[in-house]
Structure formats: structure tokens, C-alpha cells
Amino acid sequence: MRIILFAGKGGVGKTSIASATGLKAAGMGYKTLIMSLDIAHSLSDIFSLDKGLMDKNKGIPVKIEDRLWIQELDIQEEIQRNWGDVHKYIASLFHTAGLDEILAEELAILPGMEEVSSLLYINRYVKEDDFDVIILDCAPTGESLRFISIPATLEWYISKIFKIQRRVVSYIRPVAKRFYDVPLPEDDYFKALENLFVRLEGVDTILTNPAITTVRLVTNPEKIVLKETQRSFLYFSLYKMCIDAIVMNRILPVTIKETYFHDWKESQRRYLELAEEYFSPVPIFPVLLFQNEPLGLEKLKQFGEDIYGEQDPTEHFYAERPYEFSQKDGKFFIKIKLPFITKEEVELHRLPEEMVIRVGGFKRHLPLPRHVSAYKDVTAKIDGNSLNIIFGGRRNGKEKSQR
């Protein structure tokens, strides 16, 4: 089983690249599913499918070519399949608060419901070995991070809060009904949540297992897009997910000679060099700006060839985490694999949101979690093939740095 997430800022071309990757994988003999995790689904548009076909299948996988399926979740169908009692209780709360019944039903579709539904499908497909490859076309960065954080959040809720909440509500429900018109959840609500958690069990292990799941960040050679990609790289690393490639999309071809594009091409060249500093040693796949929209099977097949050439798109293009984060005894640690270095070769420069590491002629920009700005002291030491950076001494004075 192979799972590949395509993530990045909205509008960078994730859906096109995910679709081209899935089509190439299917063409190489893998039974492949492309699943859209974005509420604003566009897979059917990319493949130029009749929208009625997707509506007819109500969120289940649709076969579009030999060994290739696509899936766009239908949240209304998923509510019936997975969220019935939970949705009904939340809608009743909104209705009790004075909202129109139709509006209450709509507002009861909470953030996270679609992501959990996606995770349920992924867990089932992996356990039942339904596909060789699952391609996940992620929503823009913020929603993608919510998607990968949900399993840990639910596990915390179930282990720390759920049983106590269920027991307390069962005690006070008979009394509360006499004095309050605000409904408390019935036991069916708690059973539904418990059932969801049981069906999700193990999906976090699947997502963080680099032998199965990797992330490919799609970006463009532009300042704002590249900075968000750098931040995404950090967050996926914090969630211990393996990033095996950066896809640099929409690069202007060198064959364009018009003066109008000169400054644009020069700007792209600088940002391509900067991307090497940001993401090395993770490989970067440069993808030229497609001549027109890659819509339909034939154009997507050509697009897949442009991206991967003769390579198998399901390969692990990079198998390790370039850096690891940890926190212990009031200190924050970053471990970076840099073989064959000596202490004399390393220079560190700290910026507000990143650390610049220079080793000889090599330079890397390392994004930092925002809360690390509270640490005022930075030290570093070399341990074998790794550079360890230690942050200590919070500015509030409660923790002191040990140099």
C-alpha cells in the first residue's frame, strides 16, 4: 500500500499534479484511487467528467479508466453514514437557540466532519487492501493540517474527556430536563462518537509510517507561495510525516525569449535557488508551465510525463525526515542530519521565524515553530552525523539556559 498526500497553498496546481500522478500510477499497473480532501471538489472538473456522474455515485469511488478511480466526498451522504446522531444533537442545540430549523441543520455541519469521513475511508481501504495507491488531493494548507491533526485530537478527547463527560451527562440529564429546555446529548450521541473512534483506530499510525505515507508539497517560484510552503514543511515535520518531494510548478520555459518575461524569469530563478536552501536534501521536481490547462485524460497523461519522466511516481523519493523536533526539561531541540561535518564548519544565524545554517558553501533556512521565539538562548553541538540545536532560557525568566 502506498499513500501520497499532495498539499500546498490554494491555487498552486495541487489537483492537476495529484491527478496526473494518479493517472501515471494507474498506467504503470497500480490499482489507484485519487481522493479529494477539499470541500470545493474539482477532481471531476480536471478529468472533464459529467458532474451528474459524481452526483449519481453520492461520494463513492467512480471508475474513470482501467485501474483508476476518483472519489469526491458528499458531506450530506457522509452525515447519514457516519454522523447521524451527532449531527442531529448539534442541530437541535442550534434550533433551541432560536435559529431556523433549516439554518440549524446547515450550521450543524461542523469543521472536521468531512476530514474524519475521509480518514474513515482511508483506514478502511488500507485494512481491506482495496487499492495499491491512494493519492490524496489535499485542501489548502490550514485545512490539510487539521486533517492530519484530527486523529491525535480525537484520541486525546476519547482518553481524557469522553468517559467522564458521558457519565456526568447520564447523571444530570434527568434533573436537567425539569429545569432547562436546552437538550443534553442522549446516549446514542456518545455511542456514535465511540463508534467513529473505533473505526478510526490505527489511521494515525498509517499516516505517520514513512514506508506507507509521504507528503509532496506543491509550490510555485514566488515569494509568498514559497514562504507558505516552508511553513507547511515545518508543520508536516512536526506531525512526524515524511516529505519525499517538493513539486515546483509553473516554471517559465527557457525558450520564452520575449523581453516582457525577462524580470519574471529572473525572479523565478532566484526563488528556485532559495527553494534549494529551504528544502534540501528533499528533492525538487521542476515542472514547466503547461501550455494550456491540463484538463482531460490525454493532457493529464502528458502532464504526468512532464513531471516524472520515466520515474515511477509511487517511489519514495526521500525516505528520511530531514530534521526532528523535541522538547524536554524546558528546552526545545532540533536534530538535523548533516553527515561529515565538523564543529568549525558550522555557522548559525537566528532570525525571528527561522534559523539559517551554513556549512561551508552550503546554506539551509530552517523554519521555526512560533513559540520557539520565546527562547532567548541558542546553543549547538555535533553528535555523530547530526547537528543538535538547543533553545533554552525563556524570556519570562522562569527557565534558564545552560550553556
Query: What are the pLDDT digits (tens) for 223-269?
Result: 999 989 988 887 888 788 899 999 999 999 988 888 888 999 999 99
SS3 209: coil
Residue 341 has pLDDT above 70, yes or no: no
Q: Check residues 161 and 6 and name the one with the higher pLDDT.
A: 6
Does the domain at 2-74+113-147+203-308 match CATH 3.40.50.300? Answer given as: yes
| Out of 5-14, 135-144, 280-289, 337-346, least confident range | 337-346
The pLDDT value recorded for residue 362 is 64
CA 262 to chain centre: 34
Q: What is the Cα–Cα distance from 2 to 287, expressed in whole angstroms?
A: 23
Does residue 7 contact residue 112 with C-beta atoms inside 8 Å? no
Which of 51-55, 145-149, 211-215, 286-290 is least confident?
51-55
**Nearest to 18, CA basis, from 237, 215, 280, 236:** 215
Higher-scoring residue by pLDDT: 271, 352: 271
Q: Give pLDDT tens digits for 164-196.
A: 877 877 867 777 666 666 677 778 878 888 888
Q: Which of 116-120, 131-135, 183-187, 322-326 has the highest mean pLDDT?
A: 131-135
| pLDDT for the residue 185 | 75
At 3, the pLDDT band (50, 70, 90 cuts) reads very high
* Whole-angstrom distance, CA of residue 332 vs CA of residue 381: 14
Instruction: Report the alpha-carbon distance of residue 370 to residue 351 in Å, rounded.
Output: 12
List the chain domain ranges: 2-74+113-147+203-308, 77-110+150-198, 323-394
Cβ 247 vs Cβ 5: under 8 Å:
no
Q: Is 368 a residue whose pLDDT tops 60? A: yes
The confidence score (pLDDT) of residue 69 equals 96
- What average pLDDT does this structure show over 278-292? 89
pLDDT tens-place string over residues 303-321: 999 999 999 999 999 988 7
CA distances (Å), 196 to each of 114, 154, 163, 236, in order? 13, 10, 15, 24
pLDDT at 60: 87
The per-residue DSSP string of 308-335 comes to HTTS-TTS-S--S-SEEEEEETTEEEEE
278-300 burial, b at 16+ Cβ within 10 Å, e below that, comes to bbeebebbebeebeeebeeeebb
Look up residue 196 and give its three cell numbers: 467513529
Strand 32-36, strand 133-137: pairing: parallel
Which cell numbers hold the place of 387?
547537528
First to last CA, the chain: 46
Q: Report the percent of the chain where pLDDT is more than 70.
A: 87
Q: Residue 252 in contact with residue 268, Cβ under 8 Å?
A: yes
Q: How many CA atoms lie within 13 A of 270 on its CB side?
A: 7
Range 323-394 classified under CATH 2.60.40.10: no
